[in-house]
Amino acid sequence: MFKKPISILPILFLITSCYGPQRDCSHFREGRFSFTARIDGKDVSTTFVRNDSIEIDYFDGKIDTSSVRWINDCEYIVKKINPKNKSEEKSIHMKILSTTDNSYTFEYGIVGQSQKSRGTALKTN
């Protein structure tokens, strides 16, 4: 009577462990990416180029450069190199949650704050 429940547990464990999200974060440390977000009811797109420790953002005709400090393969901190105001001085924590061959889904928020947002970046090169 107890053999069936015990033998089913390992099978259930194996089945559920096979469905974790794919995370090949090292593939996204460098490259050209695009990201679209909804701001004030409008979809806005940005392009950025990352070469491991520097990220250059192209948004609304402006170029910004940020430093990138990797915490581990799937998490990093972005900080603007030349902030123009107090808001831009704040660092952003980025965490890659899942990956595909040419995109990654991430969670981001200001360091020290609990509010997080999610997005998906598409690798374009």
- pTM, full prediction: 0.78
One-letter amino acid identity for 121?
A
Which residues, listed in sequence order, are joined to residue 68 by a DSSP beta bridge? Answer: 78
Q: Which helix (H) or strand (E) is 16 found in, with range? A: helix 3-17
The pLDDT of 49-64, averaged and rounded, is 94
Tell me the average pLDDT of the chain.
87
The pLDDT of 31-59, averaged and rounded, is 91
**105 touches 120 (CB < 8 A):** yes
Question: For residue 7, is pLDDT > 80?
Answer: no
Task: Extract the runs of DSSP E, i.e. beta strands, from 8-83.
Answer: 30-39, 42-51, 54-59, 62-72, 75-80
One-letter amino acid identity for 29?
R
Per-residue pLDDT, 23: 82
**pLDDT cut 70: percent of the chain above it:** 83
Phi/psi of residue 86, nearest 5 degrees:
-60, -40
pLDDT tens for residues 80-115? 999 999 988 999 999 999 999 999 999 999 999 999
The confidence band for 14, taking pLDDT boundaries of 50, 70 and 90, is: low
**88 touches 80 (CB < 8 A):** yes
The class of domain 22-123 in CATH terms is mainly beta
Q: What are the sequence ranges of the domains in the chain?
A: 22-123
Per-residue pLDDT, 85: 92
Q: Count other Cβ atoms within 10 Å, centred on residue 87.
A: 9
